Structure formats: structure tokens, C-alpha cells
Amino acid sequence: YLIPLSSSHYPVNQTTMHRPSLSACQLILRSFGRSGGNIVASRRFASSMNVRDALNSAMREEIERDPNVFLMGEEVAQYEGAYKVSKGLWKLMGDKRVIDTPITEMGFAGLAVGAAMAGLRPICEFMTFNFSMQAIDHVINSAAKTYYMSAGDVKVPIVFRGPNGAAAGVAAQHSQDFASWYSHCPGLKVVSPWNSEDARGLLKAAIRDNDPVVCLENEMMYGVSFEVSPECESKDFLIPIGKAKIEIPGNHISLISYGKFVGLCVEAAAELAKEGIQCEVLNLRTLRPLDEEAIVKSVMKTHHVVTVESCWPQCGMGAEIAARIMESQAFDYLDAPLTRMTGADVPMPYAQALEAAALPQVADIVRVVRRTLNRAAK
Amino acid sequence: MPLSSSAIRANLLLLRGGGGLFVSSRLASSAVLSTRPYKLHKLESGPASEAQVTSDEARKYYRDMATVRRMETAAGNLYKEKAIRGFCHLYSGQEACCVGMEAVLDRNDPVITAYRAHGWTYTRGVPVKAVLSELTGRASGCAKGKGGSMHMYNHNFYGGNGIVGAQVPLGAGIAFAQKYREDKRVCVTLYGDGAANQGQVFEAFNMAKLWDLPCIFVCENNKYGMGTAVERAAASTAYYTRGDYIPGLWVDAMDVITVREATRFAKDWCLSGKGPILLEMETYRYHGHSMSDPGTSYRTREEVQSMRQMRDPIASFRQTLLTAELVAEEELKEIDQSVRKEVDEAVQAAKTNAVPDPKELYTNVYSQPPSGQPNYRIRGIDQFTWSAN
């Protein structure tokens, strides 16, 4: 049956405002370096912060807080980070706490895991997660499994972090989304921040966690600014690992995503709101363990679901979410099958139009939502 | 072991009463034994050519080597009886390496090795009973039966690692942590002749030397990487030189005192801030690579027999002790009997002790539940099967 779209909870004209959730609101801003941007001040918020600064401040505070925490990776110290995420840290903390490694991922990831086994708390940066494939044996066999194999004798309190997924025009070997590979493995906790609040809270929680945590960031988000709440600026601001966040509540369809693609869902939701379609945008924040409760609750409310990611379709995050919904009570509440929007099942091409066609875009999400809701294509 | 006639110095007459010990009035309480020659790489001088060994030390080394030997033999038998499953890599023949090194290390010096780890597990303080029970998958095993042959741990013993070569960067990382905390300790990182060709080993060497990490890299060269003789796998079999800019020592590791003095030299080297050092322990394994490998398709039975007869570390040490009159033959026999008893009891326990509780399937995945899911449950083989909470 058709969904009554006239009884929308939200005024149709307000495209970017959304209702406050229990935690502080966020007004989403897009300020890209090249185009400059307008920063709209809001009375409710302390300040604006981009994702890069969120990560930077999180690391700085955690290194200051705990003498066992240190950062190691390629170009993190004197170069200030390939993407400037660790800007200023080496000048402040010195050689002992911020360490440049040779270009030997397998070696330095293994070294970092060994240091964690011996009681330190390394932050091991991969310049991008594509290079983590060279070291993946250490992430899985040395880090993830050791607490279990040792029956609780040896802890591995390490964080592996870095950019994940596609950037812009970096082609096939530099564009893979590893969400599905890492979230497959027991023993790991896997988080993927979208905005600045996510970045600060999740990275701090990851560093303070006594288990190996993989933190999948996105290079394209580093320069994006968000308003952050005063709580977010606190040195002890932590986001619980394993809890998703409803960025925009809605009654008609659940858009479930993580990382950069949450932003696309938010944009699609704004566009769809103009025609009275209320999307609920669920930001997973943690990929392992998934917040299954939040997923099920959302789908039971909206009866329709679309997942959005940049992993390839087979064995991707959407596949997992589909299976979980099937297994849960939400199955009986579905009015349409789940649609998973994913990266196209090809290695990432270089040419711009091909690259754009290889990933879900806002217009694609809008089209798929209408289709799921049996609305006519525009 | 050859002894120069001037090297035998009896210091005291040892007299003891009771206990069934036959006492010779000519027993020494210590002797000076010579070490076998070393080969040096980028070192001006090497370890001592002679070493003083007390009779207490001699008894301990003998006992520890005999225990490892008997424990490994028992493990082999348990495997053939199918009480041990999966992989089982025996250390028989290599005993002088772990015992000789432990003679100089203490329990604050961490050790990490690969999968041929039972000997090290014992010298690192895990009782024979806990090793064998782990092999037979009992709850009394040192990893509660969840690790098995390749994943045994103890304080300052980081296993037991199944992936060839992976333990080497891990060991460099442990040394890194010691330097970071300014602990005056060395980390001993062992690997085999097969692992010596792994890229990550060289990556670890690079960082260890670059950052002056207090790491003793030890290549236990038993001449075969699984079924491949060293000449067929390595363009250079001079493993002690393959650290290149890291100084190295070649050690005849079929003699426990030779190993001990090399370790003393290496530990002093690292602790004096000179950075890492590499020891090649040339040794031999009597069994195949693992229990699935008879060990005779790639080497002759004559070779194995000849090593057992002419170069066995325990038999030759026994001979040395008797010749030096450090320990009486009767004492050695008593040690043998006591070891046999200990291992037999451990075998019994390994066969009869309880298996792990089924709930252990789900324990120790995380050390703490995810902060947002305090009641986190672990899924079993289907959506109806979960860990209890």
C-alpha cells in the first residue's frame, strides 16, 4: 500500500535542519578547501572543527594523557602526516611519542603489535588501508587472535588507523574499502567515523580500548568541517563502541551507512524531504560489533531499508545487514526487500566519470529510495 | 667435549650424606670447560673460550635438557596414539639451545619464538604437565586447551607463533617496548633457517638497528626448512651474516656451554646499548618437521643416526660432566629416573584431565566487552546459538 506522504513530521522547506537528538545537534557544513564555504554559526554549538583536527586533537590528548600511547607510521612525524592528520604532534611530543617508520608495513605493523603485547598502546597508522594488506597477517593473526589463543594471557591494546575507501582519482590499487574484510574477524573492534564528533569520540575510545581496534577513516572527509558540541571538546569525550547514531530520524525508510557515505545519505534525505519522504539516516559508527539493535529498531519503524557503502557487493556490509534483518524480528516488518548500494563490482577506474559511476552518488540514493517506496522515477 | 688437561681444576671435595647418593671423594664443585669455536661477523672479539660451570649448574642443565627430550618423546607418542591432533613440531636434538640460552637469561628477559616451541615453553617456566595437557587439549593446559601446540604462553614468553617469520617483527616490538620504558632487558627473538629468508625478518632487522633495539635475534638453523635443505632455499646459508649491518655470531648449538657463553656475550652486547645482535645456533632436529613428516624423504637415516650418536647435546654433556667429575654417574641416573617419573605423571594427566568447558568456546575473544554493548554476546554456528551471558 502507498505510504501517506502528506503527514510529514518535518516542514518540507527546511532541507538541512533536522530535529535534535539526545546528544548535541549537528549542523552540517561543507567547506571544501577549493570552494571555500560559508560557516553558518549556530547558537547551540561551541565551535566548528574539521575531521582532520578532530583526529589530531584526539591523538594529542590521548598521547598527553597516557605515557604508553604513541603514534607510529610513515611520514607521521617530521612530514606531519601524508594528509596532515598528525600535524604539529611531533614538534610537540618529540621522537619518542611520534615515530616515522621506514616504508615497511609488514615490519612496522608487526613491531607495533609486539609493543602492544609488551604493554604499550601504539597507534599504528597505515597511510591508506590499501597498504594494510601487506601487514594484514599481523592485524589478524598477531593482533586479533592472540587474546583468544593465549586464553586471556596476552592483551593487544593497539589501534590501526588511516584512510579507507576511495579518494579522488587514485585508481584501483588505492581505492579499496576494507570495512568488510576487517569487520569479518572476531577479536577486532572496527569503527568508522563520519563527522568530526565521530572522529574524536571513536578514536579516543579506540585508543583507550584494551583490544585491537581498526579505525577506518576517509581522506575526503578530512577537510570537512562540522559544528561540534561543547561535550565533544572535552578531553574525556568518548563515543561508545558498538552504538550507532540516528543522524536524522524518519518514518518512511531507513538509510544505513558508515563513514563518508553517511553524508551522502544526509544529502539524499534532504532532497527526498522536499517531496515528503522522511528518511531515517542511521550512522553505524561501529562496524564490529554492529549495533544490530539499532538496525532492527529502525527497520521495524520504517519497514524499508537501503544500505549504502563503498565495499564491493559480494560479502559487503550490506550483505551482512541484510542477513541480520532476515534473522531478526524486523523481517516481518519489511514491506520491500532490502536494497544494498555498493561500489560497482569492478576495480576502481581512473577516468572521472567512470569513477563516479563506480560509487553510489546522492542521485542514485534518491532514485533507489523512490524505487523501494514504489514512487515513480523522476 | 674436548677438555684441556689444565682445564680440570677440582676446587673442593664434595661430601654428602644420605639420600642414596654415591659420593666420590674426587667430585669437583665446579670446573672450567672450554667452549666450541665461534665464527664472528662484524665483531672484533667473541665470547669466552672457557667457562666455569658449577656442579649445581651442570645438574640443572642436564636435567632441563633431559626433561625436554623426554617430554618431546612423550608428545610424539601421544600424537601417534591420536591424543594430540593437528600440528606437533618436536624440538628433540635442539635442547642445548633453549637450555643454554636460559642459563644466562632471567625471567624478566622476554622470549618469543615460532612453532617448535615446547622446549622453550618448558624452560620459560611452564610445567611439563601444562605443556602436555595443552597438547591434548585439556582445560589444565597452559592455554586452557584453546591454543594447542603452537600457541603456548607464559610471563615474558610470547609464544608459540604459527606464521613463519611473523614472530620476528613482534620480537623487535617487544624490544622496542623495553627500550621505550627504559627497562634494562633484552628480548630474545628466535626464528628458523626457513624463516630467515622472510622479508619481514629484514624489515625487523632494519628497524632494530636503526633504533638500537635491545634485541637478540636467534636463527635456530636445523638445516631443513620443512623438507627443503638450506642449500636449496637460501642464496646465502651463512645466517649469522645475514643481518648485514647487525653483528653476528655462529654458534655450535649442540653444546650447552657454548650456547651459554654466546648468550652471555650477546646479552652484554645489547645491554651496553650497542643495539641488536644476531646469533646463528647451528643445531639439528631428530624428528621430521612435524609429526606428519617422517623426516627421511629429504635426508638419509644414516645422517640422523650419525647426529644422534656423535653430536647429541645431552649425551655429550653427560660425557663432559663425568670426565670433569662434576657430577657422579649415579646422580645422572637419578636425574634420569626423576625426569622419567615427572614426564610419565604428566602424560597420565594429559590423557585423563578434563577437557575445556563448552562455554570456553566463547571466552577471551575480547578482553573487555565493547563499551557500547556491555551485554555483548558472541554468535555460535547459527542465529539460534549464542554464548551465555
ipTM above threshold 0.85: yes
Q: Identify which of A102, A151, A239 has the shortest CB distance to residue B147.
A: A151
Is residue B72's pLDDT more than 90?
A: yes
Q: Which residues contact B325 (CB under 8 A, 6 or more apart)?
A: B8, B10, B24, B26, B27, B28, B31
Q: Is residue A291 part of a domain?
A: yes
Question: What is the reported pLDDT for A201?
Answer: 98
- Distance between CA B344 and CA B336 in Å, rounded? 12
Cβ–Cβ < 8 Å for B350, B83: yes
Domains of chain B, by residue range, sit at: 31-361
Average pLDDT over residues B170-179: 98
User: What are φ and ψ of residue B268, in 5° steps?
Assistant: -60, -40
Is residue B159's pLDDT more than 80?
A: yes
Q: Is residue A27 part of a domain?
A: no
Q: Are residues A211 and A266 in the same domain?
A: no
Nearest chain B residue to A189 by CA: give it: B370
Q: Are residues A287 and A151 in the same domain?
A: no
A interface test, pick of B146, B174, B375, B382 with most A CB neighbours within 10 Å: B174
Cβ distance of A109 and B177 shorter than 8 Å: no
Q: Is residue A23 part of a domain?
A: no
Average pLDDT over residues A176-187: 98
How far CA B338 is from CA of B22, B107, B333, B341, in Å, comes to 16, 25, 9, 5
The confidence band for A376, taking pLDDT boundaries of 50, 70 and 90, is low
The confidence band for B389, taking pLDDT boundaries of 50, 70 and 90, is low
Question: What is the reported pLDDT for A44?
Answer: 56
- Distance between CA A56 and CA A247 in Å, rounded? 24
Scan residues 253-292 of A and list those with Cβ closer than 8 Å to B: 286, 289, 291
In the A/B pair of chains, how many CB contacts fall below 8 A? 167
> Residue B370: its chain A contacts at CB < 8 A?
189, 240-242, 286, 289
Helices (H), A275-335: 292-302, 317-327
> Residue A154: its chain B contacts at CB < 8 A?
153, 158-159
Scan residues 122-151 of B and list those with Cβ closer than 8 Å to A: 143-144, 146-147, 151
Select the more confidently predicted residue: A5 or A298.
A298
Q: Are residues A278 and A318 in the same domain?
A: yes
| A184–chain B Cβ distance below 8 A for any pair | no
- Distance between CA A122 and CA A111 in Å, rounded? 10
Q: Is residue A40 part of a domain?
A: no
Average pLDDT over residues A28-36: 39
Whose cell is 562455554? That residue is: B359
List the domain range (segments joined by +) for residue A273. Answer: 242-373
Q: Which residues contact A368 (CB under 8 A, 6 or more apart)?
A: A306, A339, A341
pLDDT in tens, B98-121: 999 999 999 999 999 999 999 999
pLDDT in tens, B209-238: 999 999 999 999 999 999 999 999 999 999
Question: What is the reported pLDDT for A45?
Answer: 60
Q: Are residues A119 and A168 in the same domain?
A: yes
Q: Which stretch of DSSP H or E encloses residue B112?
A: strand B111-112
Question: What is the reported pLDDT for B9?
Answer: 43
Catalytic residues of A: 105, 174
> What CATH number does the domain containing A280 carry?
3.40.50.920
How do the residues of chain A divide into helix, strand and coil, expressed in percent and rounded to 5? 35, 15, 50
Our count of domains for chain A comes to: 2
- Distance between CA A230 and CA A166 in Å, rounded? 32
Nearest chain A residue to B141 by CA: give it: A151
> Residue B172: its chain A contacts at CB < 8 A?
107, 110-111, 114
Is residue A3's pLDDT more than 60?
A: no
Question: What is the reported pLDDT for A18?
Answer: 37
Question: What is the reported pLDDT for A375?
Answer: 79
* Last-in-domain residue among A233, A262, A292: A233
Q: Is residue A15 part of a domain?
A: no
Q: Is residue A208 part of a domain?
A: yes
Q: Are residues A303 and A364 in the same domain?
A: yes
* Last-in-domain residue among A233, A263, A285: A233
> What CATH number does the domain containing A142 carry?
3.40.50.970
Question: What is the reported pLDDT for A104?
Answer: 98
Q: Which stretch of DSSP H or E encloses residue A245?
A: strand A245-248
> Residue A147: its chain B contacts at CB < 8 A?
364-367
Find how far residue B322's CA is from the centre of its chain: 25
| B188–chain A Cβ distance below 8 A for any pair | no
Write down the mean pLDDT value for chain A.
90
Q: Which DSSP letter does residue B272 get?
A: I
Q: Are residues A200 and A158 in the same domain?
A: yes
Is residue A305's pLDDT more than 70?
A: yes
Average pLDDT over residues A289-313: 98
CATH 3.40.50.970 fits B31-361, yes or no: yes
> Residue B365: its chain A contacts at CB < 8 A?
147-148, 186-187
Question: What is the reported pLDDT for B28?
Answer: 82
- Distance between CA A153 and CA A169 in Å, rounded? 45
Write down the mean pLDDT value for chain B.
93
Q: Are residues A74 and A223 in the same domain?
A: yes
Q: Are residues A69 and A171 in the same domain?
A: yes
Is residue A353's pLDDT more than 80?
A: yes
> Residue A118: its chain B contacts at CB < 8 A?
110, 158, 173-174, 177-178
pLDDT in tens, B236-293: 999 999 999 999 999 999 999 999 999 999 999 999 999 999 999 999 999 999 999 9
| B356–chain A Cβ distance below 8 A for any pair | no
| B112–chain A Cβ distance below 8 A for any pair | yes
Q: Are residues A267 and A208 in the same domain?
A: no
Supply the pTM of this predicted model: 0.90
Cβ distance of A149 and B143 shorter than 8 Å: yes
Q: Are residues A181 and A274 in the same domain?
A: no
Q: Are residues A220 and A294 in the same domain?
A: no
Q: Which stretch of DSSP H or E encloses residue B340?
A: helix B329-352
The fraction of chain B above a pLDDT of 70, given in percent, is 93
| A250–chain B Cβ distance below 8 A for any pair | no
Q: Three-state SS for A115?
A: helix
3-state secondary structure B297-330: CCCCHHHHHHHHHHCCHHHHHHHHHHHCCCCCHH
Question: What is the reported pLDDT for A21?
Answer: 40
| B200–chain A Cβ distance below 8 A for any pair | yes
Q: Is residue A114 part of a domain?
A: yes
> Residue B159: its chain A contacts at CB < 8 A?
149-150, 154
Scan residues 73-92 of A and list those with Cβ closer than 8 Å to B: none
Q: Are residues A113 and A251 in the same domain?
A: no
pLDDT in tens, A202-255: 999 999 999 999 999 999 999 999 999 999 999 999 999 999 999 999 999 999
Scan residues 4-63 of A and list those with Cβ closer than 8 Å to B: none
Distance (Å) from the C-alpha of residue B151 to the closest C-alpha of chain A? 6
Question: What is the reported pLDDT for B15?
Answer: 40
Question: What is the reported pLDDT for B46?
Answer: 97
Question: What is the reported pLDDT for B27?
Answer: 78
User: Parallel, antiparallel, or unpaired: how do β-strands A47-50 and A225-228 relate?
Assistant: antiparallel
Range of lowest pLDDT (A14-23, A54-63, A221-230, B221-230): A14-23
Average pLDDT over residues A270-287: 98
Question: What is the reported pLDDT for B388?
Answer: 79
Q: Which stretch of DSSP H or E encloses residue B232?
A: helix B230-233
Distance (Å) from the C-alpha of residue B268 to the closest C-alpha of chain A? 22
Q: Which DSSP letter does residue B106 get?
A: -
Scan residues 150-179 of B and list those with Cβ closer than 8 Å to A: 151, 153-154, 158-163, 166, 168-178
